[in-house]
Structure 1
Amino acid sequence: MKKIVIDARMINHSGIGKCLQNLIPLLAGTYRIILIGNKNEITEYPWSRHISLIHLDCPILSIQEQLRLPLAIPDSDLFWSPQYNVPLFPIKAVKRLVTIHDVYHLSYYNSLSISKKAYVNIVINASIALSGKVLVDSVFTKAEILKYIKVDERKLVVNYNGVDTSVFRRITDRATLDEVIKKYNLPAKYVLYVGNVKPNKNLKRLMKAVAQIDREYRIVIVGKKEGFITEDSELFELMTSNPELNERVVFTGRVDDADLPVFYSLASVLAFPSIYEGFGLPPLEAMACGCPCVVSAIASIPEICGNAAHYVNPYDVDDIAQGINEVLSNSAYSGMLLRNGIERLGLFDWNRSAGKVREVIDSLF
């Protein structure tokens, strides 16, 4: 049984964390897995009891990471980085595998400081050069990598993420719904956003769009404030300068995983107007919970959502508002989107995704 070491320091991050949480237990029966990360975070997951852990708590994309992570990696057959922040120094693993979810920092290169430009260039190029294979979440991300980096296309393997429909499903139990409403003080009607507040999430335009829809709807923002570039300070300036809008916004922070399907089930619509996504799980989770989606017509989002979402121009506030209004006011149309969504979900299965990871790992030996 091959010994696989996985960098699990991002186990609780919004997108990458979901991938780790779902793939690790599915791979544990095939390989001897060792996780590197914060033990307190990893041991929150029941499956971690059967997996070896090495405690390491250092920031991602940092000098400290480059000094401490290589020393933490034991003798092993393969080291898997779930993001391009790979160790640049030699490690004790025979082979390397990396997953690149997106190359946002290359696409929006000019938004970075000079030091971050240099660092991002080094680590992204190194992650590809040092790894035997590169897993990517979408055809879009594969094309983006080929646009910015000279690499053999055969090295890049598209592997879609999944949705656990046993977890993400429409919740109708009244007691469960009422419990979550009370716990988070949720409004009766709301537009839902799930994710972080990084600039590519486009929350400033979304809030301006929500200001144009019926006042009976508020916007509920689920997710913690995190970002490698910066938190979207303009977002908070917009709220503080507009008391009326501020009253319509509910920030929950990070919510319990068990509660998230309830948020989707209670929402009137999910708004996902990102200007850049390598994949984007929230629309699929929303579809599984019977929540119609209004999403951006750019990046990987059309590839993932297909005919199961209403598309808008994410740079046009009026178009975002009109899209939300269309879904809210047209039950026949939103019902069609939901039916298409159920069919669409068949493409995104964690077991299938884990199978592709096994196939790629085995191809390296």
Structure 2
Amino acid sequence: MKQFKIAIDISPTIDANSLRGVGFYTKRLVPALQQQIKKNLDYQNWTIDLVQQNNLDYQKYNLIHYPYFDPFKLSIPPKKIPTIITVHDLIPRQFKSHFPVGIKGEIKWQIQKQRLKQTDYIITDSHSSKYSIHEITKYPLDKIYSIYLAADKKFKPIPQKSNLIKTKKKYNLPTKFVLYVGDINWNKNIPQLVKSCLALNYPLVIVGSSATKTDVPQHPWTKDLIWLQKKYAQLQKQNPKQQKLILTGYVDDQQLN
């Protein structure tokens, strides 16, 4: 039986997205698919290669999967072979007033949208995103598949108390707290989360490199990040040892687990 060769673009695991959700998604998607191929006899002639766009020989493959779609960057080339694209969401187009872009951004969006329409199928994270993508791009609804994300097997109760104590000490963590891991964007509603935790007198720990960025430019896309950093500075000024709001910065997978 002839081999069916799949290429998966792993650019999100090595560029600026590597520490974001899309990088996390791609790093876990690839081994999970490879495991399914090993276990399922129906896929015994399938192979997966990890590729990057700048050195990709399309003629070698039957299918390519792009696990990331950026509406304002030319992140996918014109279609050359059967293509699947994962579009996690189109929130910047759904709520344009909160995510304004200039003329270049609008032009790139039009190019990206046309390239997206050429793809064979779209994968997204939820039914809500599925209908938003259809509404915004007019891409056929029956070719968009909702595949919900699952927690990594690494995330489980930690039996070794020594590991917990070590992590708690390193980040100066309270015994109980609310944990948020991710970017600081308008759609994450971080200011309301902070206000709610402060009102309830419950510690909030925010994990991620974006929260501790320096020299953040004034821009509509960064307004919630700037608000968060100002609130944190205010609380620190009141009490340098405060544990109401903790910004850890980047935390590696091993400690996050």
TM-score, normalisation: structure 1 = 0.55
Please say if 1:145 is aligned against 2:128. no
Please, which of 92, 95, 99 is the counterpart of residue 108 of structure 1?
A: 95
Equivalent in the alignment of 1:225: 210
Please, which of 233, 249, 252 is the counterpart of residue 256 of structure 1?
A: 252
1:45-99 superposed Cα distances (whole Å, 9 cap, x missing partner): xxxxxxxxx5xxxxxxxxxxxxxx4x422232222111224655446x5211101
RMSD of aligned C-alpha atoms? Answer: 2.6
Q: Give the distance between the partners of 2:117 and 2:239, measured in 1 at CA.
A: 47
Contact 2:87 2:122 in 1 (8 A): yes
Equivalent in the alignment of 1:24: 30
- 1:211 is paired with a residue whose SS is helix
Paired residue type of 1:157? Y
Deviation at 1:151, TM superposition (A): 2.1
Change (3 A) 1:162 1:8: same
- 1:151 is paired with a residue whose SS is coil
Q: Give the distance between the partners of 1:260 and 1:200, measured in 2 at CA.
A: 23
1:110-153 superposed Cα distances (whole Å, 9 cap, x missing partner): 23122323323432x23421211111111100111122221221
Deviation at 1:2, TM superposition (A): 2.4
Equivalent in the alignment of 2:217: none
Please say if 1:197 is aligned against 2:177. no
Overall identity of the aligned pairs, in %: 26
Q: Give the distance between the partners of 1:3 and 1:183, measured in 2 at CA.
A: 46
Deviation at 1:245, TM superposition (A): 8.2
- 2:8 is paired with a residue whose SS is strand
Q: Give the distance between the partners of 2:254 and 2:77, measured in 1 at CA.
A: 39
Change (3 A) 1:190 1:88: closer
Paired residue type of 1:24? V
Point out where structure 1 has 5 or more consecutive residues left out of the alignment. Answer: 37-53, 55-68, 262-365
Q: Give the distance between the partners of 2:253 and 2:77, measured in 1 at CA.
A: 36
Aligned length: 224
Q: Give the distance between the partners of 2:122 and 2:247, measured in 1 at CA.
A: 36
Please, which of 119, 122, 131 is the counterpart of residue 108 of structure 2?
A: 119
Deviation at 1:244, TM superposition (A): 4.0
Equivalent in the alignment of 1:33: 48
Deviation at 1:33, TM superposition (A): 2.4
Paired residue type of 1:172? P
Q: Give the distance between the partners of 1:79 and 1:87, measured in 2 at CA.
A: 14
Contact 1:84 1:127 in 2 (8 A): no
Deviation at 1:23, TM superposition (A): 1.8
Please say if 1:209 is aligned against 2:196. yes
